Amino acid sequence: MSLDWRIGIAECGDLVQDDDEVASPGEAERRWNRYVELADSVTGDEGPAGVAAIVSSLKADEDYGAYQAAHAALDRFPQADLGLGVADAAKELLSIPRDNSGNVLLILVRAGSVAVGAFNEAIRSIDPEVRLAIRELVEYHESEEWLAEGDLQNVLLMPRK
């Protein structure tokens, strides 16, 4: 995976919204198509940096179905890379819309114990303030819809300190 791919998916992931007066309908369609093309090109061999690039691309409130390609791409990564990549993108996970972060965390938990273990281990070494904010995000999603089912709760257990 090249730096150009990571930059491209991050830029295209900022999809044009209905109330966006800056972009033309043609630009909106071009960006949507390019995003789906980039996400569909993921093989899973891109490593944790590829996962982090996808997570950081999930910026739009309304994705008009484009992010389904990104979610499918995340499923193609080996579990360890998925866990490490989501942890590497912790700051981005906090800045993307909550529905998008919830979906990423759900994909992570459903991927399996290796993914969860890699995430939990990597999250221990990040900035304590970011770690606390991630903990609060997980707790939010456990109390709402994304991680509210019993078997999805208390899986992402980060230290509180």
For 66-115, how does the pLDDT look when each residue is reduced to its tens digit (9 = 90+)? Answer: 899 999 999 999 999 999 999 999 999 999 999 999 999 999 999 999 99
Determine if the pTM surpasses 0.85.
yes
Is 157 a member of any domain?
A: no
| The total number of structural domains that make up the chain | 1
Is 38 a member of any domain?
A: yes
Which range (22-26, 49-53, 115-119, 137-141) has the least confidence?
22-26
Cβ-count burial of 132 within 10 angstroms (0-12 exposed, 13-18 middle, 19+ buried)? middle
Q: Which domain holds residue 102?
A: 3-152
Is 158 a member of any domain?
A: no
Structure tokens at 115: 């993914």
